Amino acid sequence: MRISAFALLGLAISSTAFASDVELGPRPAYLVNLMEDSPLKTRLAACIGQPVKRTDFSISHRGAPLQFPEHTEEGYRAGAMMGAGILECDVTFTKDKELVCRHSQNDLHTTTNILATDLADKCTTGFIPANGGDPASAECRTSDLTLAELKSLRGKMDSADKAATTVEDYMRGTAPWRTELYGETGALMTHRDSIALFKDLGVKFTPELKAPKVTMPFEGLAQTDYAQMLIDDYKSADVSPQDVFPQSFNLEDVLYWIENEPEFGKQAVYLDGRRNIDPMDPSTFSPSMADLKKMGVNYIAPPLWVLLTLEEGKIVPSAYAEAAKEADLNLITWTLERSGPLSGGGGWYYQSVSDAIDGDGKMLEVVDVLAQDVGVKGIFSDWPATTSFYASCMGLD
């Protein structure tokens, strides 16, 4: 079954029936068009051009970094426009201990224009050109700058050309399947800025407390102070705890919120980045799913490949997914639309099912297994239109 060009062009939606500000653009229909014929394809195809609602199933990962610089106002607005019901601000801090939205405390050299400004002199390590077998490098931290200095920078697509011998070339490493079309503005935001913007956009919040790259305590700032500051920003802005899903890869941060801010802690998300577990062997889960539940953890979020495996060539839930459900843990996963074209098996995010991944037509099949069989509550995506379209078509909240 092929979808008409008219249908592909007709997917840009503004619907008063669901959400008047949701616009998907052509990508969801493009992905449906690439699917093999199946009942799922037939159902999804019937939804092309239909009204789309904003949905918590669709979580905007860093904004919309498939095409917009991450953690910028422009990217956040794009994510909300595509129907994401929850937006993410990764939280780190500046030299003067102000909370800001950056994926890492030491990524300014790849996510902003700092190396092309006078502030490059303040970087932990300035630009070092590639030489022989040594790649080009730099390290610029948010903690190298005051908030005022940070806000003078412009966000850019996260990239670096490791073969570069000049700063200009180093900053031009964007993957060919992304774009620089929207990379000329890139307004950086504080955590408080993001809260105000997300309130205006009518979406919920999922701040991620990032691991510091500096030694803690930092100028008197302890890790628990840092975790508390994040929550205090929501309390000061009079945001309901039920609209906030604080996250961390550090289980101690999650447990701090559970104990000290229980109204926020009940929705705290343990981002499971453990590399020493086998998703098909529950004996390797330490702490176990039951242990996490006893600690008060209600949400756990591993990468999507951890939740999936193959049985006779069919994508099915992993033992990890089954164990989490048995322990009554809510599952969230990451990250859709981050792998580029899937013709090569999908790379790291699809590693457990790569033998079944032969192109972008498989993306919505993976989403369907995650939603219907694994039972995830939400999926982080670099292009939320994809998850918003699926959720709206399938009647998910």
- pLDDT bin (cut points 50, 70, 90) of residue 184 is confident
- Residue 71 confidence (pLDDT) above 80: yes
What percentage of residues in the chain have a pLDDT greater than 70?
Answer: 95
Domain boundaries 5-104+188-394, corresponding CATH code: 3.20.20.190
Q: How far apart are CA 4 and CA 6, in angstroms?
A: 5
Looking at residue 19, its pLDDT comes to 52
Q: Report helix, strand or coil for 137.
A: strand
Query: What integer is the mean pLDDT of 187-194?
Result: 98
Per-residue model confidence (pLDDT) at position 3: 41
Q: What is the pLDDT of residue 183?
A: 86
pTM given for the model:
0.94
CA geometry: angle 379, 40, 54, nearest 5 deg: 40
> How far, in Å, CA of 285 to CA of 322, rounded?
13
**DSSP 8-state class, residue 36:** P
Residues 117-125 have a mean pLDDT of 98
pLDDT at 6 over 50: no
Mean pLDDT in residue range 66-93: 98
The 3-state DSSP class for residue 351 equals helix
Give pLDDT, residue 15: 32
Residue 291 half-sphere exposure, CB side, CA atoms within 13 Å?
8
Q: Is there a contact between 59 and 84 (Cβ–Cβ < 8 Å)?
A: yes
- How many whole angstroms separate alpha carbon 289 and alpha carbon 135? 41
Whether the per-residue pLDDT at 16 is higher than 70: the answer is no
The mean pLDDT value for 258-287 works out to: 97
pLDDT of residue 218 exceeding 60 = yes
| pLDDT tens per residue across span 20-48 | 579 999 999 999 999 999 999 999 999 99
Task: Tell me what pLDDT residue 20 has.
Answer: 56
What pLDDT does 315 receive?
98
Decide if pLDDT at 369 tops 80: yes
Q: Is the pLDDT of residue 129 over 90?
A: yes
Task: Report the C-alpha gap between 149 and 140 in whole angstroms.
Answer: 13
Residue 210 has pLDDT above 80, yes or no: yes
- Tell me the CA distances in angstroms from 120 to 26, 114, 124, 278, one per residue in order: 39, 6, 9, 42
Which tokens is 245 given? 């899903």
Give residue-wise pLDDT tens across range 322-345: 999 999 999 999 999 999 999 999
Q: Where do the structural domains in the chain lie, given as residue ranges?
A: 5-104+188-394
Average pLDDT on 129-143 reads 97
Q: How far is Cα 306 from Cα 349, in angstroms, rounded to an integer? A: 9
The pLDDT mean for the chain works out to 94
In this model, does residue 14 exceed pLDDT 50?
Answer: no
Q: Who's near 196: CB < 8 A, 6+ residues apart?
A: 237
d(CA 186, CA 43) in angstroms, rounded, equals 37
- What CA–CA distance (Å, rounded) separates 313 from 353? 9
Q: What per-residue confidence (pLDDT) applies to 397?
A: 83
Strand-pair category, 99-101 with 204-209: unpaired
Q: 12: pLDDT confidence band, cut at 50, 70 and 90?
A: very low
Structure tokens at 357: 């991944």
Average pLDDT of the segment spanning 4-23: 45
Above 60 in pLDDT, residue 4? no
Whether residue 258 contacts residue 297, with contact meaning beta carbons closer than 8 Å, is answered with: yes
Average pLDDT over every residue of 158-169: 97
How far are the Cα atoms of 21, 85, 196, 388 from residue 201, in angstroms, in the given order?
Answer: 10, 9, 9, 16
Q: What is the mean pLDDT of residues 297-313?
A: 98
Distant-in-sequence, close-in-space partners of 332: CB < 8 Å, separation ≥ 6: 59, 269, 299, 300, 301, 376, 377, 378, 379, 380
292 neighbors 336 (Cβ within 8 angstroms): no
Report d(CA 129, CA 189) in Å as an integer.
Answer: 30
Cα diameter, the chain: 63
Q: Which residues pair with 381 in a beta bridge?
A: 60, 336
SS (H, E, C) 284-340: HCCCCHHHHHHHCCCEEECEHHHHEEEECCEEEECHHHHHHHHCCCEEEEEEECCCC
**pLDDT for position 266:** 98
What is the pLDDT, as a whole number, of residue 339?
Answer: 97
Instruction: Kindly state the average pLDDT of the residues 102-124.
Output: 98
Rounded Cα gap, residues 253 and 373, in angstroms: 30
